[in-house]
A and B are shown apart, each in its own frame.
Chain A
Amino acid sequence: DAKTTQPPSMDCAEGRAANLPCNHSTISGNEYVYWYRQIHSQGPQYIIHGLKNNETNEMASLIITEDRKSSTLILPHATLRDTAVYYCIVSGNTGKLIFGQGTTLQVKP
């Protein structure tokens, strides 16, 4: 399974878009990019995933570069409740998730 690299922390102003980057330069053709987040004292929450194309749902958008070596999670209008640890994970054939340290996003008023 490919490894991912994320910045350890980021800040975002409330109401602005939060753009969380992730590098996965060793990703292979059949591996998906997943994003989860974990708010303090809760279990990880699924946000979005994609293979090649950009994806959007009610929570976020996922932009995957054409070479698939990096991606960006976009929260279009961050709120204080979006403060959490965000995990970018590349998952292979068995669906196995290997969590890294993630990015701690702090949304500030």
Chain B
Amino acid sequence: EAGVVQSPRYKIIEKKQPVAFWCNPISGHNTLYWYLQNLGQGPELLIRYENEEAVDDSQLPKDRFSAERLKGVDSTLKIQPAELGDSAVYLCASSTGAFSGETQYFGPGTRLLVL
């Protein structure tokens, strides 16, 4: 069974440029998560989707970050414009549901460097 797929794996951009990350969850997983991981820190949740609905986006900086999951499968996370402090790893995870006892499976992440 294929795991969570993310692309690109690495991205280097100049500040003020836009950038987008793509995630394809495990087949049949209705719940999708985007996490941000700064160097030396644990991942932090940005947004959670149940199918196509964003049900927890309280940690998403909405002035520059946006996300979508139009058909309830793939998802895209966008930053516009990027700032130097956005350099980090962006992780996608998925699970069959979002309730106690469920397991989230993570993709390899996209490593972003903003110059």
Contact = CB atoms under 8 A, between A and B. Distances in A.
Do chains A and B stick together as partners?
Answer: yes
A43 B98 contact: no
Contact of B99 (A51, A95, A100): A95
B86 to A, nearest CB: 19
Give the size range of A's interface with the partner. Answer: 20 to 34
Contacts of A45: 106
A46 to B, nearest CB: 6
Most buried by A among B42, B95, B98, B108: B42
B101 interface: yes
A36 B104 CA distance: 10
Most buried by B among A30, A49, A96: A96
Contacts of A32: 100-101
B98 A99 contact: no
B98 A95 contact: yes
Contact of A97 (B4, B41, B45, B99): B45
B95 to A, nearest CB: 7
Interface of B: 4, 31, 41-45, 48, 56, 91, 93, 95, 97-109, 111
Closest 10 pairs (CB-CB, A-B): A99-B42, A43-B106, A95-B98, A95-B102, A44-B106, A43-B108, A43-B109, A99-B43, A94-B98, A93-B100
